């Protein structure tokens, strides 16, 4: 993944799995103070479909980056939810991907629903109610993202 500033200038290429040491080395002088303890805290419960404080932390307050990641998430979440409805063999991995993406932007309900579905699938269980909860959470997050992007 390439991280870019809002003016489009590449900042750093990141890949998963990574480490804080690799991130600090890649960022060099641009590394924020305290990167050794830099973590992605979970979204705040009760913060709505998108935890805006979490999102701001994760995008370093950059409005252009915020718009970019929200748009990418909305596209990805819709695609993954539609794919999951067909119960493909890689469904657990897809739910895991969606869970991580949702956590990154502060979409707590999507992350919880995707995590629950992932766990069920890894235990060998397909759950239509869990898939329905995930679809509802994605729909709610998508509507919140549309409102945020319209106001930006």
Beta strands per DSSP E along 9-76: 10-13
Q: Number of structural domains, the chain?
A: 2
- Helix, coil or strand: residue 14: coil
Report pLDDT for 151: 81
Res 31: pLDDT: 59
CATH of the domain at 114: 1.20.120.160
Give the mean pLDDT of 80-89. Answer: 97
Q: What pLDDT, on the 0 to 100 scale, is given for residue 99?
A: 97
46 and 69 fall within a common domain: yes
Are both 50 and 86 inside the same structural domain? yes
Take residue 146 and report the two structure tokens written for it. Answer: 């549309």
Q: Given this model, what pLDDT does residue 36 score?
A: 47
Cα dist from 67 to 16, 96, 146, whole Å = 22, 23, 10
Higher pLDDT residue, 12 or 52?
52
Tell which wins on pLDDT, 120 or 44.
Answer: 120
**CA neighbor of 48 nearest in space, from 106, 114, 119, 130:** 106
Q: Are residues 74 and 115 in the same domain?
A: yes
The distance from CA 88 to its chain's CA centroid, rounded to whole angstroms, is 21
28 with 59, same domain? Answer: no
Assess whether 58 and 133 both reside in one domain.
yes
Would you give the distance in Å from CA 47 to the centre of its chain? 15
Residue 107, pLDDT score: 96
What residues make up the domain containing 27?
1-39
Tens digit of each residue's pLDDT (9 = 90 or more) over 15-74: 454 555 665 666 666 655 554 444 555 666 667 899 999 999 999 999 999 999 999 999
Same domain, 55 and 21: no
| pLDDT: which is higher, 5 or 128 | 128
Mean pLDDT of 104-131: 96
Report which of residues 145 and 35 the model is more confident about: 145
Look up the pTM and report it.
Answer: 0.72
Same domain, 93 and 18: no
Encoded tokens for 148: 């945020």
How far lies 57's CA from each of 32, 66, 116, in Å? 12, 10, 25
């Amino acid at each position: 993944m390439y991280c870019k500033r809002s003016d489009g200038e590449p900042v750093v290429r990141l890949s998963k799995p990574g480490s804080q040491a690799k991130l600090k080395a890649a960022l060099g002088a641009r590394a924020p103070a305290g990167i050794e303890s830099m973590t992605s805290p979970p979204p705040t419960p009760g913060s709505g479909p998108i935890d805006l404080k979490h999102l701001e932390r994760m995008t370093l307050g950059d409005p252009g980056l915020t718009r970019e990641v929200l748009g990418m998430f909305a596209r990805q979440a819709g695609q993954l939810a539609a794919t999951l409805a067909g119960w493909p063999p890689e469904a657990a991995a897809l739910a895991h991907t969606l869970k991580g993406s949702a956590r990154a932007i502060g979409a707590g309900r999507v992350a919880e629903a995707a995590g629950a579905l992932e766990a069920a699938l890894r235990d060998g269980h397909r759950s239509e109610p869990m898939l329905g909860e995930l679809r509802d959470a994605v729909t709610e997050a998508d509507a919140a993202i549309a409102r945020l992007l319209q106001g930006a």
